[in-house]
């Protein structure tokens, strides 16, 4: 069963008809694992709706606006003053209607609040009532509303794949008020044993990777195909360095890491590089070009790297400094901070 994307968009915006809502929920009920749902497309819809007006980089005066729910936000064009006022009023009215829909409809929706573009924001309701809200209050209302909607959805739809998507979103907020493990346990067995559920479990494990926690042991092949374990380095300070040859910030940071390694490699310090590359030729070339003489491993699965998933790596470069006892003692030490920390410890 396929469903029109426009209907799906309207469902998440809270503007669909009762018939469309029934159609979408029937479709959801038939969904199972990742293989039967384009979750990447769903996430784009969720992200698009969750997007709040943000200032354009380099120009704080021009706000971004999602005026047609396209994939990319667009800049608001500059108009003569009267046209500009009329356009702004129209945009506020649209967001105001969505805001009003949230409280009129008891079913959980995703996005109904217009976020502020300045210090204060005017919310226009369907009956043309206006309410001026403080920027921070609007932001807080937005976040609380979205979280509440998702919590309600997860509770009501334990068999729904979207409940898993929402749990991932909530888990990434690191809010201790959310019982992610408890909510996950209440999902249907089909959802809990899906491929996507593995990613959420990895995320939960990664959240536990705080300073003082035990680092997760792993095994991966080095450049010569020899298996290497993190536990092979027990008794030493080890920097687990997640990087990739195609990552410009990683390549820019590598000289700093090389400098630290040269200064402390004879003082019980080692580096274990984990590459998120998929092309072995590029990986090996980057190791040679950047002078990464320490142990480097990779399964050449790109972002699907099993160690990367174990540590829920969502961006590179990322690193963890591990004590001789296998405890995490620091994370994301870059530039001079790495050498400074090592100087204090070694």
Q: What is the DSSP letter of 74?
A: E
Rounded Cα distance, 128 and 258, in Å: 62
Specify the 3-state DSSP secondary structure of 124.
strand
Q: Mind listing the pLDDT tens digit of every residue in the chain (346 residues)?
A: 567 767 776 676 566 788 887 787 777 666 544 444 555 555 555 554 444 333 323 333 333 333 333 333 333 344 455 555 566 666 666 555 555 444 334 333 333 333 333 444 444 444 444 444 455 555 666 677 778 888 888 988 898 888 888 888 888 777 778 888 899 999 999 889 888 888 888 778 877 888 999 999 999 999 999 999 999 999 999 999 999 999 999 999 999 999 999 999 999 999 999 999 999 999 999 999 999 999 999 999 999 999 998 898 888 999 999 999 999 999 999 989 999 999 998 8
What is the reported pLDDT for 16?
73
Nearest Cα to Cα of residue 51 among 61, 66, 38:
66
Burial class (CB in 10 A: 0-12, 13-18, 19+), 277: buried
- Strand 237-243, strand 227-229: pairing: unpaired
CB 200 within 8 A of CB 185: no
Please, how many CA atoms are within 13 Å of residue 138, restricted to the half-sphere of its CB?
A: 23
299's tokens: 């399964």
């Amino acid at each position: 069963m396929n469903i029109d994307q426009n209907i799906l968009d309207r469902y998440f915006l809270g503007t669909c008809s009762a018939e469309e809502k029934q159609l979408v929920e029937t479709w959801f009920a038939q969904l199972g694992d990742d293989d039967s749902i384009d979750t990447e497309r769903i996430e784009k819809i969720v992200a698009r709706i969750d997007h709040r007006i943000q200032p354009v980089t380099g120009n704080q005066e021009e706000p971004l606006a999602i005026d047609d729910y396209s994939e990319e936000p667009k800049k608001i064009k500059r108009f003569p003053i009267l046209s500009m006022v009329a356009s702004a009023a129209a945009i506020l009215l649209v967001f105001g209607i969505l805001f009003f829909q949230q409280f009129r409809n008891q079913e959980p929706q995703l996005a109904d609040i217009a976020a502020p573009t300045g210090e204060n924001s005017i919310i226009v309701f369907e009956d043309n009532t206006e309410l001026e809200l403080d920027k921070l209050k609007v932001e807080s209302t937005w976040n609380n509303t979205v979280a509440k909607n998702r919590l309600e959805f997860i509770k009501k739809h334990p068999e729904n794949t979207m409940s898993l998507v929402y749990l991932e979103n909530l888990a990434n907020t690191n809010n201790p008020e959310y019982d992610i493990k408890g909510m996950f346990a209440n999902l249907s067995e089909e959802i809990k044993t899906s491929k996507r559920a593995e990613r959420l479990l990895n995320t939960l494990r990664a959240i536990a990777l705080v300073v003082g926690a035990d680092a997760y042991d792993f095994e991966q092949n080095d450049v010569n195909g020899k298996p290497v374990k993190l536990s092979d380095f027990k008794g030493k300070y080890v920097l687990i360095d997640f990087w990739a040859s195609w990552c410009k910030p990683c390549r820019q940071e590598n000289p700093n890491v090389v400098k630290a390694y040269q200064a402390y490699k004879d003082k019980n310090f080692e580096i274990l590089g984990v590459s998120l590359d998929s092309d072995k030729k590029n990986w090996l070339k980057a190791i040679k070009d950047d002078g990464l003489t320490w142990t480097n491993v990779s399964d050449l699965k790109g972002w699907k790297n099993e160690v990367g998933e174990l540590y829920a790596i969502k961006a590179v470069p990322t690193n963890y400094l591990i004590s001789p006892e296998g405890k995490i003692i620091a994370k994301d030490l870059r530039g001079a901070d790495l050498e400074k920390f090592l100087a204090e410890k070694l």
